[in-house]
Amino acid sequence: MSHELIFFFDGLCPLCTREVNFLRQKDHKNKILFEDINQKNFEKRYKTINKKEAGKVLHGIWNGNELIKGLDVTYQAWRLVGYSLLVRPLRWPVLRNFFDLLYNIFAKHRHSISSMICSENTCSLEAQNKNE
């Protein structure tokens, strides 16, 4: 089965993992393949993805061949699971640069932000399942 998006994420980032777990639960049509950049065989399997860069900014492969980064990955992932209206403003020309700036700040500090928000394993899949 081919996926519309390969979503590369940092599995060591609790907040990132929380988002991925949510998207997995909503991806009923299996349109997204999620790949943790920290897997042992990641660099062998995805030679075209620079692991260091993917650790700084989200990376994705759209439609099997187009490399996309940052909020373009977020936009496509959330759109594919049915949240188009929620994420559409991220790519509006008048707001795009502003949201990209905010994303870059978040990406740079995501581990610190995760430690503030995700205390006591609240970002784990188990914690999410308890809240549903």
Q: For the chain, what percent of residues have pLDDT higher than 90?
A: 71
pLDDT mean over 42-70: 95
Q: What was the pLDDT predicted at 129?
A: 41
Q: For the chain, what percent of residues have pLDDT higher than 70?
A: 83
Q: What was the pLDDT predicted at 123?
A: 57
Measured CA to CA, the distance from residue 101 to residue 70 in angstroms comes to: 10
Whether the per-residue pLDDT at 109 is higher than 60: the answer is yes
Residue ranges of the alpha helices (H) in the chain? 14-26, 42-45, 51-56, 71-80, 84-87, 93-117, 125-131
Q: What was the pLDDT predicted at 42?
A: 96
Residue with the larger pLDDT of the pair 63 and 114: 63
- For the chain, the distance separating the N- and C-terminal CA atoms, rounded to the nearest angstrom, is 30
The whole-model pTM stands at 0.83
Contacts of 61 (CB under 8 A, 6+ apart): 5, 6, 49, 67, 68
What count of other Cβ atoms lies within 10 Å of the Cβ of residue 111?
Answer: 13
Q: What was the pLDDT predicted at 114?
A: 65
DSSP symbol at 118:
-
Residues 63-101 have pLDDT tens digits of 999 999 999 999 999 999 999 999 999 999 999 999 999
Give the pair of three-digit tokens for residue 71: 């909020």
